[in-house]
Amino acid sequence: MSRAFAYVILGGGVAAGYAALELVRHGDGVSPGELCIISDEAVAPYERPALSKGYLLPRGAARLPAFHTCVGANDELLRVQWYTDHGIELFLGTRVVSADVRRKILLTANGETINYKTLIIATGARALKLEEFGVSRSDAANVCYLRSLEDAHKMEGVMRSCHGGNAVVIGGGYIGMECAAALVANEIKVAMVFPRKHCMDRLFTPKIAEFYENYYAAKGVTFIKEARVTSFETLSDGKVTAAILRDGRSLPADMVVVGIGARANTELFDGKLAMEKGGIKVNGRMQTSDAAVYAVGDVAAFPVALLGGDVRRYEHVDCARRTARRAVEAIMERSDGAEERGEKGFDYLPFFYSRVFALSWQFYGDNVGEPVHFGDFSVSSGPAGARPKFGACWVSGGLVAGVFLEGGSREENEAVASAVRSRARIGDMAAELESRGLAFAELE
Ligand code: FDA
Ligand code: NAD
């Protein structure tokens, strides 16, 4: 069968949901029958961050439809009915297996062809597998990854069967940290194994990492740093019972959670579109090297105006939402000015965040230059129940390049964001920051 649409969104994750809403809202909006979304997931677009937070809570866990897009940005909740009401076709459980950008045709695994006039690629990223590092057993019944709702469903079931038991978490990045917190909340003992000196070392300074490591340790998490899992002990049914480290140590495991990084899903377009930074290269309008094709979210590498047009690819939800909106704006306006051609880059302030236990941090900008720490880094300081508040400001050439803030209020986070956006100048920065902390953002 062959179908044709004016607009096709390939991928059904965060960016897809935000792009669909924007297409409907923009100007006269898309007409019924003009737009389809093709996703190999079985459900309509949802807020993926909920999978490692609300979905895994031991009580009052979040379930669909409550976290479909676009609730994460405090916007409309797009249930399946919303797509029907707007004449948007949702091809769910449908995998695209090849793309012909010259003829503007996508081929699905069921043999259907879908023609487009304009294509928005929103294929996101996938979890790296242990097999890519020479370790087998990813398919064991008690080895969990966390990228999709299906993964979260599996992990939740495995956790339920491991109450009071031991989990080995492989990886000390976002998934490792967020899943370790969820496991502790579900009363499972956690050993976290990763090859680096500190957790989250792509973003955290050693001092910041130490705070979280001490905080987690106080919750019973054991950190096994500068170590690698090289194999598993298994039962005859393949179920893992222990993780074996390179130095021969054996860690008991009733379950394993793997978070060892992600790779952008670009393969359909390899050799067909320009690539950069492990993703599909776009201009500041999110337009690829083919004028009819846009790319958004985790898969898009775009020039960031704030960083002098430097090309970056972010694997974070705010970026997925904003690049989706940017692409739709560009598609609908099709203006030709220099700004609109996207030559200067997209006016985007990089923003990441995480919430674990009672903690909550935000980061804005770029972690380049010298980090200067401020605030109180002691885990148990202050009156019982007091939230820690501390951070770091990366200073480059006397200007604020990026700021990390744990425990900030909404107003403080907003002030930090605007200090980074305006590239505030710091005078005698080290002394000033260390003594005045957040005052540099004119909060006090
Ligand atoms: P996303 O991965 O959301 O969607 C891609 C979609 O394309 C999927 O539906 C996929 O199945 C589909 N697809 C891919 N190839 C296809 C094909 N060939 N055919 C059909 N469909 C195809 N970020 C943050 O800033 N704060 C946070 O707290 C979190 N928390 C978090 C938790 C967890 C568990 C994960 C996995 C990730 C986060 N993130 C996050 C990251 C954030 O979720 C991520 O950046 C966005 O989901 C990216 O949105 P995209 O739409 O680009 O990809
Ligand atoms: P990551 O890149 O954040 O962390 C990977 C971790 O695995 C690092 O600690 C790294 O040192 C370690 N590692 C790498 N190879 C290893 C190996 N062979 N053995 C053991 N450890 C190894 O990736 P992730 O945590 O898997 O996250 C996957 C994706 O999900 C990323 O795109 C991330 O941005 C996204 N995510 C984001 C958030 C957030 O923004 N709050 C939350 C969850 C997931």
Closest-CA residue, ligand 1 atom 50, reads 124
Task: Note the pTM of the prediction, 2 decimals.
Answer: 0.96
Our mutation pick for probing the ligand 2 site, out of 52, 194, 197, 319, counting the most ligand atoms within 8 A of Cβ, is 194
By percentage, how much of the chain surpasses pLDDT 90? 89
Task: Report the nearest atom of ligand 2 relative to the CA of 175.
Answer: 25
| Confidence tier at 119 by pLDDT (50, 70, 90) | very high
> 329 C-alpha to center of ligand 2: Å?
32
Instruction: Determine whether the shortest distance from the Cβ of 316 to ligand 2 is under 6 A.
Output: yes
Our mutation pick for probing the ligand 2 site, out of 56, 175, 313, counting the most ligand atoms within 8 A of Cβ, is 175
- CA angle (417 as vertex; 411, 423 as ends), nearest 5: 135
Instruction: Determine whether the shortest distance from the Cβ of 179 to ligand 1 is under 6 A.
Output: no
Rg (CA), the chain: 23
Tokens for 151? 């993964």
* Residues linked to residue 89 through DSSP beta bridges, in sequence order: 36
How long a stretch of residues is the chain?
Answer: 444
Residue range 355-369: mean pLDDT, rounded:
97
Residue 210 has pLDDT above 90, yes or no: yes
CB-based contact 361:406 (threshold 8 Å): yes
pLDDT (tens digit, 9 = 90+) per residue, 214-262? 999 999 999 999 999 999 999 999 999 999 999 999 999 999 999 999 9
Owner of token pair 């793309």: 99
Is the ipTM value over 0.85, yes or no?
A: yes
The helix (run of H) or strand (run of E) holding residue 401 is strand 399-406
* Residues linked to residue 243 through DSSP beta bridges, in sequence order: 232, 251
Closest alpha carbon to 87 in 36, 42, 12 = 36
Amino acid identity for residue 360 in this structure: S
Q: How far is CA 251 from the centre of its chain?
A: 29
CB-based contact 89:35 (threshold 8 Å): yes
Report how far residue 444's alpha carbon sits from residue 442's, in angstroms, rounded to the nearest whole number: 6
